[in-house]
Structure 1
Amino acid sequence: MSALVLREDRDGLAILTLNRPDKLNSLTVGVFRELRQHVIDLKTDDTIGCVVLRGAGRCFSAGHDLGDIAEGEKVPSPGWHSETLRMLETLPKPVIAAVHGHCYTGALEVALAADFIIAAESAKFGDTHAKWALTPIWGMSQRLPRRVGIATAKRLMFTAEMFGAAEALRIGLAEQVVPDAEFDASIDAMAKKILANSPFSHAANKRLLEATDSRDMDSGLQWEVLKNEGVGPDMQARIGAFMRKD
């Protein structure tokens, strides 16, 4: 049986690919179980400095497998899906969601657990929980308003409207939109820029941004000073290499 989530490592980059292309990469407990194991493995893998999450075939993912929902999923524990995405979100290395084609509802919740989204021009987004009389339990109500603002999040959740990559960029959901023909190259270029910088700084900055999100300015500034993680073990080598260029 083929893996439901593939992992490919390349020069410090780990590419995780949702691998149910015949089902538009719809999300099942099995997919989450494999994604969760990859996240666990990546957390302590010092050979990896950046992670890309994407989908095989025609799209990123059409969302939660409605067939699984109708049949009654056997979830290992309450909140297990949400916990898995939280593990992805708090990985001590940058995570990019590379979205092409469909990215609906549960799939959007997965993408929002990444640090940011790069979208192909073909990308289509939407939260359809309300269309099916469902409510989010994978993080939509928390991550979407933090990304796009609460009024926009309400509009998207209440209308269940689908929207394209240009609108995703306009509202701040996507960080970058690129032509489909340039999608792979753009992902690689972004990953290389990230990998060129210090993994120590990336991990420390993620923790800093996480800890101070939504704090008032003064307490955030205080946290930055008092909880500062200092300098990384690669600082001297990096500064030395820069000085030698002169």
Structure 2
Amino acid sequence: MTELVLREDKDGLAILTLNRPDKLNSLTVGLFQQLRQHISAIRKDDSVQCVILRGAGKCFSAGHDLNDISEGEEVPSRGWHSETLRMMEKLPKPVIAAVHSHCYTGALEVALAADFIVAADNTKFGDTHAKWALTPIWGMSQRLPRRVGIATAKKLMFTCETVKAEEALRIGLAEMVLPIADFQTGTETLARQIMANSAFSHAANKRLLEATDADPLDAGLIWEVMENEGTGPDMHDRINAFTKK
């Protein structure tokens, strides 16, 4: 079977690579099936502390394979792609989308399902659903406005314009921009910085943020107090190591 999504493990860091470089990593049902398998395996793998999702070759991904769409691709269920991305979003480990060059439409929906986006300085983002008389079904209408605000989301979706990395950073679509020459090293350094902190806290914080997203402040504060998961098994070791410096 052709490996459409590669997995590489580096001391607790799982790197998933979209692997159709000859097709600009355009997204097919087969690629999503393999992505879903990796997500399921990582959820059960306690050795994984952080995940990086990236693309092989020239770009992250040019988006949903238009040939697949026009030929009437067969999916297990209507919401199957969206469900797969939701599975990734709910992983109890930080997930970084490492995006370089093209990141359009379906590819942007994939990247938005990560915890945050790190962009290379040559990246261009865009939502072109309206260009092809399509409507989003993988999460664009929900995740994009939560990142950039509803008015900016409307502008991007209505105009189908592309946004360069620095503008993406300014509007909150990306959280960091790195030079393309140092992109892989810089992204992995960021992942290691995250991994130096408590995996227990990361999982608990993700659940807390997820549960209270868009709640009124008072409701969120009550949830934080009542549903707080307490301290992790590594708390004493971490504090003792710090105080003995």
TM-based fold match above 0.5 = yes
* Counterpart code for 2:222: Q
Aligned partners of 1:44, 1:237: CA distance in 2, in Å? Answer: 25
Structure 2 CA distance for aligned equivalents of residues 25 and 188 of structure 1: 21
Matched, 1:181 2:203: no
Distance in 2 (CA, whole Å) between partners of 1:60 and 1:25 is: 7
The AA in structure 2 aligned to 1:101 is S
Q: Distance in 1 between matches of 2:236 and 2:162?
A: 49
The C-alpha deviation readout for 1:12-49, integer Å capped at 9, x for no partner, is 10000000000000000000000000000011111010
- Aligned pair 1:169/2:169, yes or no? yes
After superposition, give the CA deviation of every residue in 1:52-86 in whole Å (9 maximum; x if it has no partner).
00000000000000000000011011200000000
Alignment deviations for residues 79-119 of structure 1 (CA, whole Å, 9 cap, x no partner) = 00000000000000000000001000000000000000000
- Decide which moves more: 132-141 or 233-242: 233-242
Partner of 1:193, secondary structure, is helix
Offset of residue 195 of structure 1: 0.4
How many angstroms apart in 2 are the aligned matches of 1:215 and 1:34?
A: 34
Q: Number of residue pairs matched?
A: 245
Q: Which amino acid aligns with 2:159?
A: T
What is the rounded CA distance, in whole Å, between the counterparts of 2:111 and 2:9 in structure 1?
20
In 2: Cα distance, 1:201 partner to 1:45 partner: 17
**Separation in structure 1 between the aligned mates of residue 82 and residue 95 of structure 2, nearest angstrom:** 17
The list of structure 1 runs, each at least 4 consecutive aligned residues, that deviate by more than 4 angstroms after superposition, is none
Q: CA deviation at 1:188?
A: 1.2
In the alignment, structure 1 segments of 5+ residues that lack a partner are none
Structure 2: gaps of 5 or more residues: none
- Once residues 163 and 228 of structure 1 are traced to their aligned partners in structure 2, the CA distance between those partners, rounded to angstroms, is 38
SS at match of 1:205: helix
Query: Which residue of 2 is the match for residue 33 of structure 1?
Result: 33
Deviation at 1:2, TM superposition (A): 3.0
Q: Which residue of 1 aligns with 2:217?
A: 217
Question: Secondary structure of the residue that 1:30 maps to in structure 2?
Answer: helix
The 5 A counterparts of 1:16-165 are 16-165=16-165
2:196 maps to what in 1?
Answer: 196
- Output the amino acid matched with 2:77: S
SS of corresponding position for 2:191: helix
Match in the other structure for 1:15:
15
User: Which deviations, in whole Å up to 9, do the C-alpha atoms of 1:102-154 show, x marking residues without a partner?
Assistant: 00000000000000000001111000000000000000000000000000000
* Partners of 2:46 and 2:198 in 1: CA distance: 12
Aligned partner of residue 166 in structure 1, secondary structure: helix
One-letter code aligned to 1:169? L
Question: What TM-score, normalized to structure 2?
Answer: 0.99
Matched, 1:240 2:219: no
AA aligned to 1:35 is: L
- For the residue of structure 2 that corresponds to 1:229, the secondary structure is coil
Compute the displacement of 1:178 (Å).
Answer: 1.0
